[in-house]
Amino acid sequence: MATVSMTVNGKAVTGDVEPRTLLVQFLRENLRLTGTHVGCDTSQCGACVIHLDGIAAKACTTLALQCEGASITTIEGLAEPDGKLHPMQEAFREHHGLQCGYCTPGMIMSALDIVRRNGNNLDEHTIRDQLDGNICRCTGYHNIVKAIEAGAKAMAK
Amino acid sequence: MSANGIGAPVRRKEDFRFITGQGQYTDDVVRPGETRAVFVRSPHAHAKIKSIDVSAARTMPGVIDVLTGAQLAGDKIGNLICGWMIHSKDGSPMKMSAHPALAAGKVNCVGDAVAVVIAESQAQGRDAAEKVKVDYEVLPAVVDPAKAQAKGAPQIHPDIPNNTIYQWHLGDQAAVKAAFDAASHVTTLDIINNRLVPNAMEPRAALAEYDAGTDNLTLWNTSQNPHVARLVISAFVGITPEHKLRVIAPDVGGGFGSKIFIYPEEVVCLWAARKVKRPVKWTADRSEAFLTDAHGRDHVTRAELALDASGKILALRAKTIANLGAYMSTFSSSVPTYLYATLLSGQYAIPSIYCEVDAVYTNTAPVDAYRGAGRPEATFVVERLIEVAARQMDLEPPELRRRNFIKNFPHQTPVIMAYDAGDYNASMKKAMEIADVKGFAKRKREAARNGKLRGLGYSTYIEACGIAPSQAVGSLGAGVGLWESAEVRVNPTGSVEILTGSHSHGQGHETTFAQLVSERLGIPFDSVSIVHGDTDKVQFGMGTYGSRSGAVGMSAIVKALDKIEAKAKKVAAFMMEAAEGDIEFKDGKFTVAGTDKSAAFGDVALNAYIAHKFTGAELEPGLKETSFYDPTNFTFPAGCHICELDIDIETGKVDIVNWTAVDDFGTVINPMIVEGQVHGGIAQGVGQALMEGAVYDQAGQLVTGSFMDYSMPHAHDLPSFHVGTTETKAPSNPLGMKGCGEAGAIASPAAVINAITDAIGSEDIAMPATANAVWSALQRAKAPKAA
C-alpha cells in the first residue's frame, strides 16, 4: 500500500492504495464518486474522462499514484456549490444529448476540453472530429454535437 | 396540447442525475461486506476439461472461495434455457443443449466460464484466477454457420447431430415455386447479414446479496426485464423460489436487446453469495462483454424475388442459415423465425412467400436479439431485392416500390402478419422531398468533378412491434405472455406514482409516461413519479424490448388510469352529494354537470383516503388501480430512409453526406425523444453497414475482441440526420402508438448498401462495407470479365 494525496473537486483527499490502483478506481471506490464510469479496458470509450490539472485525461489509464499533488475535476465537481448547473451540463439536457446517461459524464468532460482547445465558436466538423476519444451507443451523436455547440456558446456569456 | 402533455418535446426528468454524475448503475451500488467475483474463462473455442486444480488459487491473498462447474452441478443448480419453442418442418422440437452457468466437462466457446474466484477485491480475484489450472484437451472448432452442418464438422453438443437446432419453414412452398416458374424476371441475391456485438456502453454487472435471517436473495443487475430474470432464475435455474428472490435493475446504461437475456454470471453470483454469506459483485470488463454478451444477426441467406414484366412482385423465396452460437440464449430461437420470416413481405403486396431457416450451433458466443432482432435481417433481404430488381428491370427504385406498395388495410400477408394501418407512399414521398431527390443528378455530377462517386439508396422498411398479443405469441411457441402491467397509486395529496413493468435504459420513460399521466389527470408533470425495475415494488412486468413500452406499457397505464377516473368519480359524487352519472372529469377537475360545483383532483384524492364522506360498505377507501394490458395485434411502424453518400475513388472511403428518415410511428408522445431514438438506431444500422463486424478465426478466437479491433461508430463517422414523421394511428391500442426504438437500425443498413451499389454500379459488396471492401469492389467492377 502507498499513500496518495490530491485535490478532487476542490477538496484535499488522501487515500491508501495499492500501487496498481487506477485513478478511476480511486475515484469510484475510495471516494465514492461514481459519476466517472468505465466502459472499456483499452482507453477508447471515454466514459472515464476527468480533468487532470485542467486538461482532459482518461482515468482508466492513469494510475492514482501518478496524480500525487494534482488537481482533479470530475463530473460531480462541475456544478456551482449552490447547485447551479454548468452551461455544458444544461446544454446536454436542453438538447437531449443523452439517453442512457452512461457515456454522458465523459462526454461533458471531453466537451469542455474541446472548448478549452478551440474556443466557444465550434463548428460541427471540429466537434465531431475531436470527439474521437468518446463513444456513445445511444444517441447517434446528433444531439451531442448540438449540445456541445450550444454549451460552448453559453459558456462565453 | 399542454406544455408537458402528449406531443410536447418535454426535457427529460431523468437527465439531472445523469449530467451531474448521480446516476445509480449496478456497479455503483455497494453493499456492506461486498466481495468480487472474477471468472476463469476458457481460452479455447472447443475443448474437453480434463481437470481443474484450484488449490494454488485458494491460497492467494484475499481469496474467499473458488467454485467450479462440478460444485454447481453438485448443488443441483439448473441450466439456463431458451424460452421460445420452435418446431422443425418435420414436427420435431428444437434441440436445446444443456447450458450450465459454469461449464463442466466441456467448453464450447472462448469465454465459457469454468470457475469463479470470490475475493476481497477485484485485483486479488484476478491474481487468483490466473492461478487456477485447467487442463484442456483442445478439439477442432467450427465458427462459420454455413459450415456447421457439413459432414465431418466438429460435433458441439453430443446429442445434437449436424449441430442443427431446427430446420423450420414458413409459407406455401408449392405456390411460390409455381410463381417463380411463371415469372418473367427473377432477382437472386446471396446475402451475409454480418455478426454484431451490441456493446451497450455500460458493461453487464450483477450484485447478489443473501440474507441468512430471512433466506432471501437480492440481485441487482443490468436487466431490461428484471421480472423475467427472476422467473427464469427461480423456476428454471432453481436458485431459490420466486418469492424469495428480489431482482432490482437500477439505472441501466443501454441494452439494445443484449440485457434481455438471463446470463450465467448472475446465476453464479446468486449461488456464490449464499455459499460465502457475503454480497458478491461481478462487473464485466469490455473484453468479457465482447466474449460473453449475446451477439446479434449472423445470417447466411439466398434470397429470390419473382416479378412479372410490369414489375409486379409475384413471390419471394429465402433460405437462411442462422448462427445461434454455442448455446441457445433466452429468446434466440424466435429471432431468425417469427421475428424474421414474418416480415419478408416488407411494405409490398406479395401473393406468396416461402422461407426456410436452419438454426445451427457454432463455437462462438450465443446470438440473440439485438436492436431490431430479425426485422433488420428481413428488411435487408427485401430492400436489397427490390432495389436490385428495379435496376435490373431498368425502373427507378421508388417507382418499383410504388407499384407494389400495400394500399388497402387491413392487409393479411402470406407470412402471418396482418398489417392494420399505414401509408407507405406518403412516407416515401415526404422523404424524397426532404432528401431533394430531384437535385440528386446535379449533385452527382458535382461530386464526380471532385473525384467522388455519389450514390443514393432507399429503404422502405416495416417492422412488427409491441411484441405482442399473448395468445398469438403463445401459438408460435413463446413460453411467456407478452402483455404489460401498470399500477397507478394516487397519494392522499394528489401526487401520483406509476409502477410499470416496462424498464427504461435510455428511453426516457420517466418523462414520457409522466407526460401521459399529467395530461390525462390534469395534474402537474412534476407531481408524477415513475417507478420501475424492482420486483419488490412492481408486481410483474415483461420489460422493455421490441419497441413495446409505448404501445403496450403505456396502454396498460391508460387502462389503469381509466379505473382511477371511474373510482374518483364515485368519490367525487359522495363529496358533492351528486349522482355518479352527473360527474364529469376534465383538466384535473371533477364537476357536477349543469352546476358550478367542482372538486380538484387533489381534493378527491384526499377524500378517497380519509373516507369521511362515504362508508366502506359503499365504496372502498383508497385510490390505487392496476391493469394488465394485452395488445390485440402487433403494431407496424414503417417508413422510408434515404441515404446519400460519396465514395472516394482512390481509397474506397464512404462519406455519408445526407440522411433522411421519414417514419410513421403513429401517435408520438415526445418528438424530441422519438427523434433521439431514430438517430441512435440509424447510427447502429450505419455501423453494421460500414464498419462493424464480429470476426472469429477458424480456431474460434474472437479477433474483434476490443474497441481497438471492433469498429464502433464515432461522431466523425456520421452526419447529422434529417428526421420527419408521417402519421397513421395504430388501431390496436388506445393511444394509437406504434413504437420507434428499433426503426433506425432496421431501415438503415439496406439504405447504405443500396447507395453504395448505386454509386459503384455493382451489387458485389458485403457488409461491413469498409473502405477496403469498397475499394476492392471497385477494382472488381473495373476488371475485364473472364470470357
Quick: pLDDT tens for A82-108: 999 999 999 999 999 999 999 999 999
Shared-domain flag, residues A66 and A39? yes
Evaluate if residue B67 carries a pLDDT over 80. yes
Q: Look up the domain containing B637 and give its range.
A: 299-467+633-782
Radius of gyration of chain A (CA): 15
Q: Are residues A65 and A130 in the same domain?
A: no
Render pLDDT for B463-476 as a digit per residue (tens, 0 to 9).
999 888 999 999 99
Could you tell me if A136 and A98 lie in one domain?
Answer: yes
**Which residues in chain A (52-91) have CB-CB distances under 8 A to chain B?**
74-76, 78-79, 85, 89
Q: Cβ contacts (< 8 Å) between B17 and chain A: which residues? A: 101
Q: Does the pTM of the predicted model rise above 0.95?
A: yes
User: What pLDDT, in 10s, does the model give residues A27-77?
Assistant: 999 999 999 999 999 999 999 999 999 999 999 999 999 999 999 999 999
Q: Please give the pLDDT value at position B659.
A: 98
Structural domain ending residue among the three candidates A77, A106, A138: A77
Nearest beta carbon to residue A140 from set B506, B672, B718: B718
The B residues from 715 to 744 touching A (CB cutoff 8 Å) are 715-716, 718, 720-721, 744
Range of the domain at A38: 2-77
User: A139 and B203 in contact by Cβ < 8 A?
Assistant: no
Q: C-alpha angle B203/A148/A153, rounded to 5°?
A: 160
Model confidence at B617: pLDDT above 90: no
| Domain co-membership, B304 together with B397 | yes
Whole-number Å distance between alpha carbons of B307 and B409:
23
Task: Judge: A100–B712 Cβ closer than 8 Å, yes or no.
Answer: no
More confident residue, B786 or B204: B204
Q: How many domains does chain A have?
A: 2
Which of A95, A87, A89 lies closest to A107, judged by CA? A89
> How much is the mean pLDDT over chain B?
97
Residues B562 and B456 in one domain: no
pLDDT band at residue B785, thresholds of 50, 70 and 90? low
Q: Residue B782's pLDDT band (boundaries 50, 70, 90)?
A: confident
Chain B environment of A44 (Cβ under 8 Å): 706-708, 712
DSSP state of A117: H
Q: Where are the beta strands (DSSP E) in B397-495?
A: 411-412, 418-419, 452-462, 484-490
Q: Is residue A82 part of a domain?
A: no
Q: Where a domain ends, among A30, A47, A77? A: A77
Boundary (domain end) residue, out of A77, A95, A112:
A77
Residues A14, A66: one domain? yes
Instruction: Give percent above pLDDT 90 in chain B.
Output: 97
Cα separation, B514 vs B669, in Å, equals: 10
Contact A78 B505 (CB under 8 A): no
Domain count for chain B: 3
The answer, yes or no, to whether residue B616 has pLDDT greater than 90, is no
Determine the pLDDT at residue B2: 76
B693 and B597, same structural domain? Answer: no
B285 contacts on A by Cβ (under 8 Å): 38, 40-41
Residue of B nearest to A102 (CA): B253
Average pLDDT over residues B723-749: 96
* pLDDT at residue B1, rounded to an integer: 55
Looking at the structure, tell me whether residues B557 and B589 fall in a common domain: yes
The predicted-structure confidence for B187-236, as pLDDT tens digits, reads as follows 999 999 999 999 999 999 999 999 999 999 999 999 999 999 999 999 99
Q: What is the ipTM of this complex?
A: 0.98
pLDDT at B783: 80
- A chain contacts of residue B201, beta-carbon cutoff 8 Å: 37, 39, 45, 47, 100, 102-103, 135-138
CATH number at A130 reads 1.10.150.120
Best CA proximity match to B608, nearest among B625, B627, B630: B625
- What was the pLDDT predicted at A46? 98
Q: Do A139 and B253 touch (CB under 8 A)?
A: no
| Strand blocks (E) in B194-244 | 205-211, 216-221
Q: Return the pLDDT at B595.
A: 95
Q: What is the pLDDT of residue B787?
A: 47
**What length is written for chain B?**
787
Q: Please indicate, yes or no, whether residues B645 and B521 belong to a single structural domain of this protein.
A: no
Q: Which of B476, B779, B482 shows the shortest CA–CA distance to B652? A: B779
Would you say residue A129 lies in a domain? yes
Angle formed by the axes of helices B671-690 and B743-760, nearest 10°: 40
